[in-house]
Structure 1
Amino acid sequence: MTKLYITRHGETEWNKLGKMQGWNDSPLTELGKVQAQWLRDRVKDINFSKIYTSSSDRAYKTAEIIKGDRNIEIVPSLDLREIRLGVWQGLTQEEISELNKENHYNYWNKPEKYITVEGAEGFEEVRDRAYRTIMKMVRENKGKEILVVTHTTVLKGFMCALQKKEIKDLWEPPFIKQTSLTVVEFDEDENYKIITNADASHHQYIFKEYNQF
C-alpha cells in the first residue's frame, strides 16, 4: 500500500481577517503555528519518505513545523498552490460580495455556476492540476508514506477528482479546518480507500487565549 497524508496549512493573518489569499500570501498566526505543532505530534511516528508542500510560504512554514527535527526532505511545488483568484486576491469576503454578489455567492454555494474572474483559475483547472500533481507524487513513492501540505481548494479538488464527483459537489462536507488530516491508501492498481477525511481530532483548544474556538 501507498499511503497519502494530506493537510491544509495553519491559520494565517488573512484567514483571521476574512481575506481571500489565492496565490498571494500572509504569515501564520501564533494559533496557526500551534495547529501545525498539534499535527506534528499526531504524525511523529509516521515514517514519511517525503513531505511535499505548496511553495506558498504559509504552507511551507507549516510543513517545516510538522517536520520538526526529523531528517525528511521537504519538496516545494508551484502546482500545490491555492486556486489563483486574480482580482479577488487580498479582498475580504464583504468586498468581493460588493463587486459581484451573485458570483461571490456562487463561488461558495454553487461552484458549477461560478464565473471565473479576471486573472483567476476556474475550479476545473484547480481540480485537474491537483489530481495530476498529487497522483504523480503517489506514483513516485509506491509502497511508502508521504505528506502533502496544501490549501483548501486544492485538497477539495483532489478529493473531488479522486471520487469522480462533479464540481457542484466541490464544497460538500467535511469542512477543511486548518491542519486537519486526510488519509488515503492506494494499492498497486491505484484502487483507493479513504481512511480519514479532514479529521481535526488532534486540535487541542486548551489554551486560554484560544477558548473562543
Structure 2
Amino acid sequence: MTVGKWRSEGHIDSELNDIGRQQAVAVASHLSKQEDFVAIYSSDLQRAAETARIIASRCNLPEVILDPSLRERHLGDLQGLTMRDAQKQKPIAYKHFLSAKRDQELPGGGESLIQLHERCTSFLENLARKHEGERIMVVTHGGVLRELYRRACPMEPLNGKIMNTAVSVIHIHENGQNWTIKKWGDVSHLEEVGAKEDAFGGDKTSG
C-alpha cells in the first residue's frame, strides 16, 4: 500500500470542519425529502454527532440518541498518527493494523475487526427489534459501515472508498437476523453543492 498523509482518528473526538458542515447540510436536505423517520441514532464522537444534529433539525426529529456502540474502531497506539508516522513510530501496531487476521487486536487498547463487528452489528440488530416496521437513521463512521456491509453481504467483499455523508439503506428484518442492502454509498446530494470531491471518508484502512 502507499503510505500517505492520511491521519487515523479512531476514538479521537474531532469536530467537523467547514467542508464537513457543508456536506452535513447537503445530506440533511436530501434526507428531509425522503419518507418519514421516527428516530436518529449516532456515534457520540463529535464529528458524527454534529452531523446527526444537523440532520435531525432538518428532518424535524426532536433529539439525537448518542451511543458509543456506533463509534469508529479504536485504533490504540495508532490514533492521531499519519500512516507514515505510524510505520516509523509504532511499527508493531502498524503491522497489526495491516494484518489480514480479523481477530488481531491493536496495541494500546485497540480493537480487532471482530470486536468492532460484534459491537456495531449487535447494536443494529437490537435497534431493528426495537423499531420493527419503522424507518430510522444511523450516523456512524467508515470502519463501522464496512462491518455492517460485511454482515449484510458476507460473501461480497467491499472494495473502494466510503465517502463522508454517503447514504446507505439497509433493510433488517426477521427479528434482526436478515440484512439486505437496498442502497449503498449514494453521494448524489453532494454534487449539487460541489462538495463531492472533498467527501473522501476513507478506504479499507480507514479508522
Shorter-chain TM-score bucket reads: 0.7 to 0.9
**Aligned pairs (5 A) from 1:46-57:** 46-57=35-46
- Picking from 65, 75, 87, the partner of 2:77 is 87
Whole-angstrom CA distance in 2 between matches of 1:47 and 1:27: 28
Q: Deviations along 1:155-179, whole A, 9 cap, x unmatched?
A: 111221233359xx4xx32421100
> Which segment is superposed worse, 196-205 or 126-135?
196-205
TM-score with structure 1 setting the length: 0.78
Whole-angstrom CA distance in 2 between matches of 1:148 and 1:178: 14
**What is the identity, as a one-letter code, of the residue corresponding to 2:19?**
L
| Structure 1: unaligned runs, 5 residues or longer | 1-16
TM-score with structure 2 setting the length: 0.80
Classify the secondary structure of the residue corresponding to 1:177. coil
Mapped contact 1:107–1:113 kept (Cα < 8 A)? no
Which structure: greater strand fraction? Answer: 1
CA apart distance, 1:82: 0.8
Whole-angstrom CA distance in 1 between matches of 2:103 and 2:173: 35
Mapped contact 1:116–1:122 kept (Cα < 8 A)? yes
User: After TM superposition, where is structure 1 displaced by more than 6 Å over at least 4 residues in a row?
Assistant: none
- Picking from 9, 13, 20, the partner of 1:21 is 9
Whole-angstrom CA distance in 1 between matches of 2:30 and 2:133: 21
| Structure 2: unaligned runs, 5 residues or longer | 199-207
- Picking from 131, 135, 147, the partner of 2:121 is 131
Q: Does 1:185 align with 2:175?
A: no
Whole-angstrom CA distance in 1 between matches of 2:190 and 2:196: 12
Q: Which residue of 1 aligns with 2:202?
A: none
Q: Which residue of 2 aligns with 1:41?
A: 29
Classify the secondary structure of the residue corresponding to 1:68. helix
Distance verdict in 2 for CA 1:29–1:108, change over 3 Å:
farther
Q: Which residue of 2 aligns with 1:199?
A: 186
Distance verdict in 2 for CA 1:191–1:97, change over 3 Å:
same
CA apart distance, 1:118: 2.5
**CA RMSD, Structure 1 to Structure 2 (Å):** 2.6
Aligned length: 191
- Picking from 138, 163, 173, the partner of 1:148 is 138
Ranked by relative contact order (alpha carbons within 8 Å, sequence separation 6 or more), the top structure is 1
Distance verdict in 2 for CA 1:18–1:47, change over 3 Å:
same
Q: Which residue of 2 aligns with 1:176?
A: 162
Mapped contact 2:142–2:162 kept (Cα < 8 A)? yes
**Aligned pairs (5 A) from 1:81-120:** 81-99=71-89, 104=94, 107=97, 110=100, 112=102, 116-120=106-110
Whole-angstrom CA distance in 1 between matches of 2:196 and 2:167: 22
